[in-house]
């Protein structure tokens, strides 16, 4: 990366004039700002390799600008100009991340020397960055995302095809299926690599704050807005913005987001200038968006905007063939990160892991294995190292899961009824499940209702009531 475009901010006109002449003569392209706010506006709209800022300006000072620029673009360099009297500020400037400072009045040769040094520093940074990228490349591509099931192959294909372009991707999948991991893979395999990857969880931020988190606000936009604040869109400048849990975004914000996506520009809350944004959008959700659209909780037009390329991550239970590789991957990771020395797991353990239905998907598998490696008494993980793992999707002899069996039975019974005549189907079906379940557990606990209630995870009184209302007979003995 070389220094091409420079932003100069100084309230003294003669100073601007001198600097512009000198720098342009050296072949740089120079933009001038007469105060802090102008500098900020220019910085928001353009890419500068270097900013030379006067420390003392009316309004936004050079130090404030320095702080913001460093926050927004830590990869860019800032040189501060100070008057001899303000050496103390020069120290502050260095602490805030200025590349260097120069004391006024200065000799243009001194400035040349600093710019030359800055260029060298940039070259080294670029080189280190490239080296790092090269080193990480095999890790990213071959290690970080595990799974060779057909379902995952399909996902890799889409990632590969879309990584290089700027299309919007919507990733859907249950919790813990790796949505964020895939979003990062899309970013790191794109031309935006090296630019920021900024994630925002739309479900975790209170709705009053979400708008300003996304789009930023101007000083004084509302009570408490004591400073101008850059939103995630601006922080992600040139990179990727990951809108996580987009299904939870309030409707009014959906409208605003849609407009931003169409126009590719934002307005900070309380501001009136529009700011161009160059970001790639990747969104994710574990909700059923189609359902939300029907309920008028999600805008259909926004959905189409986001869903240009859909990536659907299958739940882990639908790709049990990946359990083997994932297990070994996480055991190795635990060895590295937790300092344990586990060599693997026995066949019986692998079968146990394969028989569980993993509602929390890969995250649950990862946590379960980490816990097991810490508890294990041996170098090979045994089923007893997984005390909490109760296989729920019991596989029958014929190989059909419990869910499959129930689906079959339910379909057959419903086929014999006129369901349009019913209005309590849900309770009816659940009661039919409840009776056999309670009967089995009572049998297993030899009618010990206290224990049965514990196993079922319901209150003792609730169990007693259910036994009555469902007419379950308790045989003594």
Q: Does 170 bind ligand ATP (CB under 6 A)?
A: no
Are 244 and 202 within 8 A, CB to CB?
yes
Residue 369: which residues within 8 A CB-CB, separation 6 or more?
A: 327, 330, 331, 334, 381
Residue 370: strand, helix, or coil: helix
Interactions with ligand ATP, residue window 75-114 (CB under 6 A):
none
- Whichever of 60 and 286 has its CB closer to ligand ATP, that residue is 286
Binding site residues, Mg ion, CB under 5 A: 180
Q: Does 366 bind ligand ATP (CB under 6 A)?
A: yes
CA 35 to chain centre: 37
- The angle, 0 to 180 degrees and rounded to 10, between the axes of the packed helices 449-456 and 425-444 is 130
Taking CB under 6 A as the binding criterion, the range among 64-72, 358-366, 433-441, 445-453 that sits at the site for ligand ATP is 358-366
Whose CA is closest to 69, among 95, 96, 100, 108?
Answer: 96
- As measured in angstroms, the least distance from the Cβ of 285 to ligand ATP is 8
- As measured in angstroms, the least distance from the Cβ of 152 to Mg ion is 17
Return d(Cα 460, Cα 447) in angstroms, integer: 12
- As measured in angstroms, the least distance from the Cβ of 453 to Mg ion is 35
Residue with the CB atom nearest ligand ATP in the bound state: 178
- The angle, 0 to 180 degrees and rounded to 10, between the axes of the packed helices 323-338 and 361-375 is 50
Q: Does 147 bind ligand ATP (CB under 6 A)?
A: yes
- Whichever of 59 and 344 has its CB closer to ligand ATP, that residue is 344
SS3 string, 102-133, reads: EEECCCHHHHHHHHHHHHHHHHHHHHHHHHHH
Interactions with ligand ATP, residue window 17-56 (CB under 6 A):
none
Q: Does 176 bind ligand ATP (CB under 6 A)?
A: yes
- As measured in angstroms, the least distance from the Cβ of 349 to ligand ATP is 19
Terminal-residue alpha carbon distance, the chain: 84
Choosing from 15, 22, 102, 145, the residue that interacts with ligand ATP (CB under 6 A) is 145
Are 389 and 345 within 8 A, CB to CB?
no
Taking CB under 6 A as the binding criterion, the range among 64-72, 160-168, 359-367, 442-450 that sits at the site for ligand ATP is 359-367
**Buried/exposed code over 281-308 (b: 16+ C-beta within 10 A; e: otherwise):** bbbbbbeebeebeeeebbbeebbebbee
Taking CB under 6 A as the binding criterion, the range among 29-37, 74-82, 169-177, 259-267 that sits at the site for ligand ATP is 169-177
Q: Does 216 bind ligand ATP (CB under 6 A)?
A: no
Choosing from 82, 89, 162, 177, the residue that interacts with ligand ATP (CB under 6 A) is 177
- In sequence order, the β-bridge partners of residue 344 are 380
Question: Which stretches within 179-299 are classed as H helix?
Answer: 179-188, 207-215, 232-235, 251-263, 289-294
Q: Edge to edge, what strands does the sheet with 280-285 contain? A: 197-201, 240-244, 280-285, 169-172, 309-312
- As measured in angstroms, the least distance from the Cβ of 281 to ligand ATP is 16
Q: Find which of ligand ATP, Mg ion, none residue 65 binds, CB within 5 to 8 Å per kind.
A: none
Q: Does 175 bind ligand ATP (CB under 6 A)?
A: yes
Choosing from 90, 146, 159, 275, the residue that interacts with ligand ATP (CB under 6 A) is 146
Q: Does 362 bind ligand ATP (CB under 6 A)?
A: yes
Residue 434: strand, helix, or coil: helix
- Whichever of 177 and 212 has its CB closer to ligand ATP, that residue is 177
Q: What are phi and psi of 445, to 5 degrees?
A: -95, 10
- In this structure, the strands spanning 344-345 and 197-201 are unpaired
DSSP assignment, residue 197? E
Residue 201: strand, helix, or coil: strand
Q: How many residues does the chain have?
A: 477
Taking CB under 6 A as the binding criterion, the range among 158-166, 185-193, 362-370, 457-465 that sits at the site for ligand ATP is 362-370
Q: Find which of ligand ATP, Mg ion, none residue 203 binds, CB within 5 to 8 Å per kind.
A: none
Question: For residue 304, what are its two tokens?
Answer: 């189409």
Q: Find which of Mg ion, ligand ATP, none residue 366 binds, CB within 5 to 8 Å per kind.
A: ligand ATP
Q: Does 368 bind ligand ATP (CB under 6 A)?
A: no
Contact letters (x/-) for ligand ATP, 282-311, by CB under 6 A? ----x-------------------------
Q: How many chain residues interact with ligand ATP (CB under 6 A)?
A: 16
Residues that bind ligand ATP in the complex, under the rule CB under 6 A: 145-147, 173, 175-181, 286, 329, 362-363, 366
């Amino acid at each position: 990366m070389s220094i091409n475009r420079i932003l100069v901010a100084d309230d003294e006109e003669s100073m601007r004039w001198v600097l512009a002449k000198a720098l342009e003569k050296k072949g740089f392209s120079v933009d001038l700002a007469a105060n802090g706010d102008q500098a900020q506006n220019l910085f928001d709209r353009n890419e500068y390799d270097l900013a030379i800022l006067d420390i003392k300006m009316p309004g936004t000072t050079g130090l404030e600008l320095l702080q913001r620029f460093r926050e927004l673009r830590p990869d860019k360099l800032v040189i501060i100009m100070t008057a001899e009297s303000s050496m103390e500020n020069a120290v502050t400037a260095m602490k805030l991340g200025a590349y260097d400072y120069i004391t006024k009045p200065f000799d243009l040769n001194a400035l040349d020397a600093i710019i030359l040094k800055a260029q060298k520093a940039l070259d080294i940074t670029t080189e280190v960055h490239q080296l790092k990228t090269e080193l990480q490349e095999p890790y990213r591509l071959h290690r970080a995302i595990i799974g060779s099931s057909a379902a995952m192959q399909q996902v890799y294909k889409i990632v590969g095809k879309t990584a290089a372009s700027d299309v919007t991707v919507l990733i859907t999948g249950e919790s813990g299926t790796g949505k964020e991991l895939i979003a990062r893979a899309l970013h790191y395999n794109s031309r935006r690599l090296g630019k920021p990857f900024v994630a925002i969880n739309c479900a975790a931020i209170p709705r009053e704050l979400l708008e300003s988190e996304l789009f930023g606000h101007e000083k004084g936009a509302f009570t408490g807005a004591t400073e101008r604040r850059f939103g995630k869109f601006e922080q992600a400048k040139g990179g990727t913005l990951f809108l996580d849990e987009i299904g939870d975004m309030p409707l009014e914000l959906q409208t605003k987001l849609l407009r931003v996506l169409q126009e590719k520009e934002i307005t900070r809350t309380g501001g009136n200038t529009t700011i161009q944004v160059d970001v790639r959008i990747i969104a994710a959700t574990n909700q059923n968006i189609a359902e939300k659209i029907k309920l008028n909780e999600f805008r259909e037009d926004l959905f189409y905007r986001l869903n240009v390329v859909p990536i659907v991550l299958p739940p882990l239970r639908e790709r049990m063939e990946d359990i083997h590789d994932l297990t070994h991957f996480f055991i190795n990771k635990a060895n590295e990160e937790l300092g344990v020395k586990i060599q693997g797991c026995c066949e019986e353990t692998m079968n146990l892991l394969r028989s569980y239905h993993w509602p929390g998907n890969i995250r649950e598998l990862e946590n379960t294995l980490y816990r097991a490696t810490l508890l294990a008494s041996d170098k090979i993980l045994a089923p007893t190292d997984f005390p909490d793992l109760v296989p729920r999707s019991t596989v029958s002899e014929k190989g059909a899961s419990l869910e499959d069996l129930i689906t079959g039975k339910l379909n057959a019974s419903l086929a014999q009824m006129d369901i349009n005549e019913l209005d309590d189907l849900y309770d009816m079906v659940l009661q039919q499940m409840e009776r056999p379940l309670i009967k089995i557990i009572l049998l297993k606990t030899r009618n010990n209702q206290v224990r049965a209630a514990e196993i079922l995870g319901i209150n003792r009184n609730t169990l007693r009531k259910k036994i009555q209302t469902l007419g379950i007979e308790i045989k003594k003995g």
